[in-house]
Structure 1
Amino acid sequence: MKQVVQNYKSGELAVLDVPVPGCKPGGVLVRSAYSLISTGTELMKVSEAGMSMLGKARSRPDQVAKVMQSVATNGVPATYRKVMGKLDSYTPLGYSLCGVVEQVGAGIDDVKVGDLVACAGNEHALHAELNWVPKNLYTPVPDGLAPRHAAFGTVGSIALQGVRQGEPQLGEVALVIGLGLIGQLVVQLLTASGVRVVGADPDPVRCELAERLGAAACGDPASAAVEASVAELTGGHGVDQVYLAAGGGSNQPVELAARLSRDRGRVVDIGKCRLDLPWNAYYEKELDVRFSRSYGPGRYDPSYELEGRDYPIGYVRWTERRNLACFLDLLARGSVDVEPLVSHVADFDDAVETYRRLKDGELKAVAVLFRYPGHTAEAEEAAQPAAVSVAVPAVKVQPRPARLAKSPVRLAFIGAGNYATSMLLPHLAQRDGVELSTVVTTTALSAANAQRKFGFAEATTDLDAVLGDKSVDAVFVVTRHSSHAELTRKALLAGKTVFVEKPLALTEDELAGVLAAVEESGNDRLQVGFNRRFAPLLREARKRFGARTGPANLRYLVNAGRLDQGSWYLQQGSEGSRFVGEGGHFIDTASWLLDADPVSVYATAPSGNEDLQIVLRYPDESTATISYVTSGPSAFPKETLDLIADGRALRLDDFVRASVYFEKSTAGQQRWVSSRLPKARDKGQNAELAAFVKAVRSGGPMPVPLASLVATTAATLAVRTGLAGGAPVTLAGAR
């Protein structure tokens, strides 16, 4: 088998062919799938190996002391031969991996051949194709957790043990100094524990990454930004805990820790940094300095690690192995996300070159993985989340003849909130042939206000009276999201034509309930407020673009922005997520432009925020990528869209300007650009309402087929399913 080794005397790195280790009792033989390079510990070892003998001695004074003791005991010649023998030998690298059990030793009954396990230990989880791992240094990988993520188990356990030593409590504030691999994991673990985190690192890229992963603020420790953030979050008292996850020879981390800690705060050393404690600063605050020893209790104890003797859980709650299992569980449940930390994945055969690039600074990385041949593909496939398939409900209805509305068309509104009063009612109040019959709200005053402003004949809080009024031709449902499906269902059963603002439903069960009402009543007269397909500018651009013959690529960037603190959109428990609430707009627009409904949905989101990346696939292999971001600047346009196919490109700039580019044109035209709109953006509400009123009056087809509304709603709901499962979602039964 092959293994990565290093000669500490010469600094040589190599991938050697070495014998396969035997499967001894009390452990398992594991074939590696992925192993993780510790960009801190391992690179420090690699760098030391490249030093002169004097440099090696300066970097390891502890080893020099041992040499001097050996000289006193054994003499110079014997000690020299012993030291040179050790230096001129190959030593292994690595201590964190995931692999497949290939052989089970005597006395092992918790795993079997073929199981996926995470392994720990700088003698047992090496960068090698096969490793023998004793019982207390491996743990089974939870179902659904990818091997490349499980390979972080050991490093994650180091971070977890450090956090345990800090004893964080809900609502506390912590400072993490050093935002390398360990520091990034500490940030996430603290955030998951309900602690607000400030990060300190001179690398702005690492600071930005830590903020994406949950840190409240990050900055260069040499700047005033970190101190200002700590003061703001703690009211000037200082942080409750400091985690030293930095390396190097500077004493700045321990000095910064003293300066920014509160009185009687806790300072936890996880990394290997200089620890010349400034006595006065630590004494005056009576700081509690703690050390975190590697992966947890059991480390460096041969009876635990090699002989498999566990510590009773009543005496030692979190051992090495239990920490390892706990971290994998956090990964599997999504409380910690290591994928953003993966800077590079290298084939195992390229190990030497990878180390060289890391050492020379050519490869800037937080975490680097080695990918192994053999069982890797099978293990990855077995551990990846299974592909999910959700059914797009079939529309089963024998439509009854539509009731023709007399002129004027009489409309009732259920709800009169901001959207209804700003985007719908102003258009309807001025439209000939329309009578605003009744407005229904839950509070009497809001109904009276809507009646006064828009001329409703009646205002009431009695929903049943409106649904039972045979003179009402159509009902608008413009309430909070949680009530849309139920109100739509009732209105359909009452025989009304229904216009419901998006979303139609918040869950698959709600969608099924609406369709059950359609089937029961034979009333399929339904419109959802997907207005963008009616926008004049976009319709003109689509017309100019022309018909497609080949697949298209569509990109839709939605700069959704941040919500105000009191917005009811934040009530996700009752009102659904932001994307469920408005994402149908963008899926419907993409599907209308591509003239089809999606057949699969893939969604991903960075940990700690609401930004989404959604990829829709269509029957003709067209794709639409929707970037739904909440972290963008308010001055940037909200919606930009690009569609490319057949040598043509369509661009929409926030419903202000549109353009179409042509590779070739029979008329010689290379580009069409709309004039900039002189007034407010027209996102299609007026044209949508005109089409709806026309359908109600004439009894003709609804502006958007019911099957399309259902497909868009199903795809919107599938985003949540895809985020939870981490795999593409097939929309079974999609047209």
Structure 2
Amino acid sequence: MKQVVQNYKSGELAVLDVPVPECKPGGVLVRTSYSLISTGTELMKVSEAGMSMLGKARSRPDQVAKVMQSVATNGLPATYRKVMGKLDSYTPLGYSLCGVVEQVGAGIDDVRVGDLVACAGNEHALHAEVNWVPKNLYTPLPEGLAPRHAAFGTVGSIAMQGVRQGEPQLGDVALVIGLGLIGQLVAQLLTASGARVVGVDPDPSRCELAVGLGAVVCGEPGSPAVDAAVESLTGGHGVDQVYLAAGGADNGPVELAARLCRDRGRVVDIGKTRLDLPWNAYYEKELDVRFSRSYGPGRYDPEYELDGRDYPIGYVRWTERRNLACFLDLLARGRVDVEPLISHVADFDDAVKTYERLKDGELKAVAVLFRYPDGPAAEEGEARAAEVAVPAVRRGTVAPVPSRPAKASVRLAFVGAGNYASSMLLPHLVGREGVDLSAVVTTTALSAANAQRKFGFAEATTDLDAVLEDPSIDAVFVVTRHSSHAALTRRALLAGKAVFVEKPLALTEEELADIVAAVEESGNDRIHVGFNRRFAPLLQEARKRFGARTGPASLRYLVNAGRLQQGSWYLRQGTEGSRFTGEGGHFVDTASWLLGSDPVSVYAVAATGGEDLQIVLRYADGSTATISYVTTGTPGFPKETLDLIADGKVLRLDDFVRASVFTDGGAAGRKRWVSSRLPQARDKGQNAQLAAFVRAVRTGGPMPVPLESLVATTAATLAVRTGLAGGAPVTLARAR
């Protein structure tokens, strides 16, 4: 098998062929599907290995002290040989992964061969194709959790242990200093715990990411916005806890913690940072300084980690393994979202190059995953009649598309230039800085010429092959009839283009599977579906005002679709699919975005003899969304109204013209936020969506919506037809 190793003396990184470990009693052999690079801890180790001997000594004074003690005990020659022998050897990297159990050792009865597990430990969850993992350092995956997300289990446990040390309570205000991988997870866990989070990091992109994942305000150290937020949220008293998730030799984080923490507040050190405590500041506030030791109780105890001796839950509620299981549960229920943290997924064979790019600063990343050749095993057995498989996405299994550097402008091609493209997309792109409209492709020369004249395309053509083969084209917009979306999307992906496809992505499960297969074949996952409502400014603001929730939610979405005009191509269900198949993804996507996860089942019923549908989506955390899709209402009533109810709060959206949020303010009474705009200023998010897509293509950053979510939304939309035919709920089984 292959494993990533490093020579600490020379700094050399390599992927070596090494023997497969033995399956010892008390543990399991795990074939890795994804392993996570700790961009903090591991990069620090990689950087230290590249230092001179003097630099290594300065960076690890603790090890120097051990050497000096050995010299005193064993003499200089013996100590020298020992130290040089240890330095001039390969050491492993990695400590967080997800994989499939290949062999079960004696004494193990909680997992079977073929089970997916998340694994921890810098000696057991290594960047290697196969690892032996003892019982207390693995845990099975909850149903439906993606392996790439489960690979975050160890770092999630580190963040969770830090949060537990801070003992946050509902309503607390917490400051997170350092918004790298651990800091981002700490911020999300605090938000899930009911705390309000203020973040600090010198990198604006990390601040923006944390705010998007639930933090109230984030800014650079010394930012007036941070000071103002702490002042406002705490009434001038200071934050209840500070979490130090930063690294380095700067004492600024410790000083900032003292300045912004309240009297008798808690400061928790999670990262490896300088701790030169300013005595007066910490003494006068009597600050409680705490340390968080890795993944939780059991860490560094060989009887727990190697011998499998658990601590009684009545005495130690949260051990390493229980922390790991808890974090995976939060992931599965959508309370923590790691997908936006994934900056890059690299093939395991490219491990050395990936580390070098990270070390040299060429690859800026919060989290990087290694993807292994043999992914998770397929589900056993055939799908049941009331079960639809959601295609799993395994990118780049054949020929990955090379990453592209950020560019000043992107060259776009449109395939199709009908009403929607001409009215809702192209007006937002014409004249946009950094956008070149390079080509428009239609089936008739005249329509292409019209689009060229109106929007200024450099070229108008009917030759799609020529456009797809043009290496200067960065992205292709598929804005054609529904029946052609899947095939055109597949062709564009295989040609290495980023793709914006107007909904629907596919009309059948087979078409959806073909698109996922194209992603696997090409390694190109640069795709976005035009689900624009989640980008609507009014809904974005309402969601922010609604805030985080702790319990299940109920969502009601009334779509007053109205009747179609005679002759509309939407009526051609034989070739273009049903009307709901065509546009229902909008509403499924909006509901899932508001609820923070993808549906696990779909139940649909139709009015007798009509097109009106009632669709119930169920989510893993117990939330439900009911979509009433009706065609028999009056056009005088708004097309879309939505209510979201959870935790004593209600969010209401009235056709993207007015939004309201009602909250129970307790003793302070009820609170209400209302925002509205003129009907002619109704904004359903097209402009913001296009800006996000263009930015992703230009910078090479993540696409606006994760591919897994696009696939899940499409599968749920298609499951409506299956449910109507079978008269029973349809389970959306995640393929593995």
Q: TM-score range by the shorter chain?
A: 0.5 to 0.7
The code of the aligned residue for 2:484 comes to P
Q: Residues 642 and 243 (structure 1 numbering): CA distance in 2 closer, same or farther, change over 3 Å?
A: closer
**Which residue does the alignment assign to 2:242?**
242
**Which residue does the alignment assign to 2:484?**
551
**Which residue does the alignment assign to 2:148?**
148
The reply on whether 1:15 has 2:15 as its aligned counterpart is yes
Q: Residues 556 and 5 (structure 1 numbering): CA distance in 2 closer, same or farther, change over 3 Å?
A: closer
Please list the CA deviations of residues 514-535 of structure 1 after superposition, one character each: whole Å capped at 9, or x if unmatched: xxxxxxxxxxxxxxxxxxx9xx
Please list the CA deviations of residues 566-616 of structure 1 after superposition, one character each: whole Å capped at 9, or x if unmatched: 99999x9999647x145x559989x967555143765557998679999xx
For residues 339 and 214 of structure 1, the distance between their equivalents in structure 2, rounded to whole angstroms, comes to 14
For residues 99 and 552 of structure 2, the distance between their equivalents in structure 1, rounded to whole angstroms, comes to 42
**Which residue does the alignment assign to 1:423?**
none
**1:386 CA drift (Å):** 6.9
For residues 334 and 262 of structure 1, the distance between their equivalents in structure 2, rounded to whole angstroms, comes to 32
**1:221 CA drift (Å):** 1.2
Q: Residues 291 and 297 (structure 1 numbering): CA distance in 2 closer, same or farther, change over 3 Å?
A: same
What is the correspondence of 1:665-684 to structure 2 with a 5 Å cutoff? none
Match of 1:638 among 665, 677, 682: 682
Determine helix, strand or coil for the equivalent of 1:730. Answer: helix
**Which residue does the alignment assign to 1:263?**
263
For residues 588 and 166 of structure 1, the distance between their equivalents in structure 2, rounded to whole angstroms, comes to 58
Q: Residues 202 and 137 (structure 1 numbering): CA distance in 2 closer, same or farther, change over 3 Å?
A: same
The reply on whether 1:175 has 2:175 as its aligned counterpart is yes
Q: Residues 326 and 29 (structure 1 numbering): CA distance in 2 closer, same or farther, change over 3 Å?
A: same
For residues 63 and 317 of structure 2, the distance between their equivalents in structure 1, rounded to whole angstroms, comes to 34
Q: Residues 189 and 548 (structure 1 numbering): CA distance in 2 closer, same or farther, change over 3 Å?
A: closer
Please list the CA deviations of residues 13-72 of structure 1 after superposition, one character each: whole Å capped at 9, or x if unmatched: 000000110011111111101100000000000000000111000000000001111111
**Which residue does the alignment assign to 2:720?**
731
**Which residue does the alignment assign to 1:210?**
210
**Which residue does the alignment assign to 2:201?**
201
Q: Is 1:161–1:323's contact at 8 Å kept on the other side of the alignment?
A: yes
The code of the aligned residue for 2:538 comes to G
Q: Is 2:553–2:595's contact at 8 Å kept on the other side of the alignment?
A: no
For residues 87 and 563 of structure 1, the distance between their equivalents in structure 2, rounded to whole angstroms, comes to 53
The code of the aligned residue for 1:732 comes to R
For residues 725 and 171 of structure 1, the distance between their equivalents in structure 2, rounded to whole angstroms, comes to 38
**Which residue does the alignment assign to 1:310?**
310
**Which residue does the alignment assign to 2:38?**
38
The code of the aligned residue for 1:551 comes to S
**Which residue does the alignment assign to 1:80?**
80
Determine helix, strand or coil for the equivalent of 1:56. Answer: helix
**1:639 CA drift (Å):** 4.0
**Which residue does the alignment assign to 1:561?**
538
The code of the aligned residue for 1:286 comes to E
Q: Residues 640 and 110 (structure 1 numbering): CA distance in 2 closer, same or farther, change over 3 Å?
A: closer
Please list the CA deviations of residues 473-501 of structure 1 after superposition, one character each: whole Å capped at 9, or x if unmatched: xxxxxxxxxxxxxxxxxxxxxxxxxxxxx
For residues 215 and 587 of structure 1, the distance between their equivalents in structure 2, rounded to whole angstroms, comes to 43
For residues 196 and 105 of structure 2, the distance between their equivalents in structure 1, rounded to whole angstroms, comes to 45
**1:723 CA drift (Å):** 7.5
Determine helix, strand or coil for the equivalent of 2:131. Answer: strand
Q: Percent identity?
A: 70
For residues 721 and 235 of structure 1, the distance between their equivalents in structure 2, rounded to whole angstroms, comes to 42
**Which residue does the alignment assign to 2:473?**
none
Q: Residues 76 and 641 (structure 1 numbering): CA distance in 2 closer, same or farther, change over 3 Å?
A: closer
Computing the radius of gyration from Cα coordinates, the structure with the larger value is 1
**1:560 CA drift (Å):** 5.3
For residues 218 and 382 of structure 1, the distance between their equivalents in structure 2, rounded to whole angstroms, comes to 48
Determine helix, strand or coil for the equivalent of 1:551. Answer: helix
Q: Is 2:592–2:598's contact at 8 Å kept on the other side of the alignment?
A: no
Contiguous gaps of at least 5 residues in structure 2:
391-418, 428-445, 451-479, 486-500, 503-529, 600-639, 641-654, 661-674, 691-708, 726-736
What is the correspondence of 1:582-601 to structure 2 with a 5 Å cutoff? 594-595=570-571, 597-599=579-581
**Which residue does the alignment assign to 1:284?**
284
Aligned residues: CA RMSD: 4.4
**Which residue does the alignment assign to 1:329?**
329
**Which residue does the alignment assign to 1:219?**
219
Determine helix, strand or coil for the equivalent of 2:243. Answer: strand
Q: Residues 144 and 251 (structure 1 numbering): CA distance in 2 closer, same or farther, change over 3 Å?
A: same
Q: Residues 64 and 607 (structure 1 numbering): CA distance in 2 closer, same or farther, change over 3 Å?
A: farther
Q: Residues 586 and 326 (structure 1 numbering): CA distance in 2 closer, same or farther, change over 3 Å?
A: farther
The code of the aligned residue for 1:76 comes to L
For residues 275 and 51 of structure 1, the distance between their equivalents in structure 2, rounded to whole angstroms, comes to 23
Determine helix, strand or coil for the equivalent of 1:227. Answer: helix
Q: Residues 568 and 57 (structure 1 numbering): CA distance in 2 closer, same or farther, change over 3 Å?
A: closer
For residues 263 and 685 of structure 2, the distance between their equivalents in structure 1, rounded to whole angstroms, comes to 54
**Which residue does the alignment assign to 1:364?**
364
Q: Is 1:560–1:638's contact at 8 Å kept on the other side of the alignment?
A: no
The code of the aligned residue for 1:334 comes to G
Q: Residues 575 and 298 (structure 1 numbering): CA distance in 2 closer, same or farther, change over 3 Å?
A: closer
**1:227 CA drift (Å):** 1.0
Q: Residues 63 and 727 (structure 1 numbering): CA distance in 2 closer, same or farther, change over 3 Å?
A: farther
Q: Residues 593 and 640 (structure 1 numbering): CA distance in 2 closer, same or farther, change over 3 Å?
A: farther
Q: Residues 605 and 113 (structure 1 numbering): CA distance in 2 closer, same or farther, change over 3 Å?
A: farther
Q: Residues 313 and 343 (structure 1 numbering): CA distance in 2 closer, same or farther, change over 3 Å?
A: same
For residues 287 and 102 of structure 1, the distance between their equivalents in structure 2, rounded to whole angstroms, comes to 49
**Which residue does the alignment assign to 1:70?**
70
**1:256 CA drift (Å):** 0.4
The code of the aligned residue for 2:292 comes to S
For residues 633 and 240 of structure 1, the distance between their equivalents in structure 2, rounded to whole angstroms, comes to 36
Could you state the TM-score of these two structures normalised by the residue count of structure 2?
A: 0.60
For residues 119 and 549 of structure 1, the distance between their equivalents in structure 2, rounded to whole angstroms, comes to 43
Q: Is 1:211–1:218's contact at 8 Å kept on the other side of the alignment?
A: yes
Moved more, 219-228 or 106-115: 219-228
For residues 176 and 235 of structure 2, the distance between their equivalents in structure 1, rounded to whole angstroms, comes to 18
Q: Residues 161 and 728 (structure 1 numbering): CA distance in 2 closer, same or farther, change over 3 Å?
A: farther
For residues 329 and 552 of structure 2, the distance between their equivalents in structure 1, rounded to whole angstroms, comes to 28
**Which residue does the alignment assign to 2:615?**
none
For residues 587 and 150 of structure 1, the distance between their equivalents in structure 2, rounded to whole angstroms, comes to 45
For residues 544 and 14 of structure 2, the distance between their equivalents in structure 1, rounded to whole angstroms, comes to 59
Moved more, 220-229 or 545-554: 545-554
For residues 93 and 167 of structure 1, the distance between their equivalents in structure 2, rounded to whole angstroms, comes to 32
For residues 262 and 169 of structure 2, the distance between their equivalents in structure 1, rounded to whole angstroms, comes to 15
For residues 30 and 549 of structure 1, the distance between their equivalents in structure 2, rounded to whole angstroms, comes to 43
Determine helix, strand or coil for the equivalent of 2:317. Answer: coil
The code of the aligned residue for 2:175 comes to L
Determine helix, strand or coil for the equivalent of 1:237. Answer: coil
Determine helix, strand or coil for the equivalent of 1:561. Answer: helix
For residues 382 and 334 of structure 1, the distance between their equivalents in structure 2, rounded to whole angstroms, comes to 27
**Which residue does the alignment assign to 1:120?**
120
Determine helix, strand or coil for the equivalent of 2:155. Answer: helix
Q: Residues 261 and 732 (structure 1 numbering): CA distance in 2 closer, same or farther, change over 3 Å?
A: same
Q: Residues 27 and 163 (structure 1 numbering): CA distance in 2 closer, same or farther, change over 3 Å?
A: same
For residues 544 and 179 of structure 2, the distance between their equivalents in structure 1, rounded to whole angstroms, comes to 34
**Which residue does the alignment assign to 2:343?**
343
**1:166 CA drift (Å):** 0.4
What is the correspondence of 1:153-552 to structure 2 with a 5 Å cutoff? 153-376=153-376, 378=378, 387=388, 551=484
The code of the aligned residue for 1:638 comes to R
For residues 205 and 545 of structure 2, the distance between their equivalents in structure 1, rounded to whole angstroms, comes to 34
The code of the aligned residue for 2:114 comes to G
What is the correspondence of 1:584-733 to structure 2 with a 5 Å cutoff? 594-595=570-571, 597-599=579-581, 603-604=588-589, 638-639=682-683, 729-732=718-721
Could you state the TM-score of these two structures normalised by the residue count of structure 1?
A: 0.60
The code of the aligned residue for 1:105 comes to G
Please list the CA deviations of residues 284-326 of structure 1 after superposition, one character each: whole Å capped at 9, or x if unmatched: 0000000000000000001110111111111100000010011
Determine helix, strand or coil for the equivalent of 1:349. Answer: helix
**1:375 CA drift (Å):** 3.9
The code of the aligned residue for 2:56 comes to K
The code of the aligned residue for 2:47 comes to S
Q: Residues 73 and 247 (structure 1 numbering): CA distance in 2 closer, same or farther, change over 3 Å?
A: same
**1:731 CA drift (Å):** 2.8
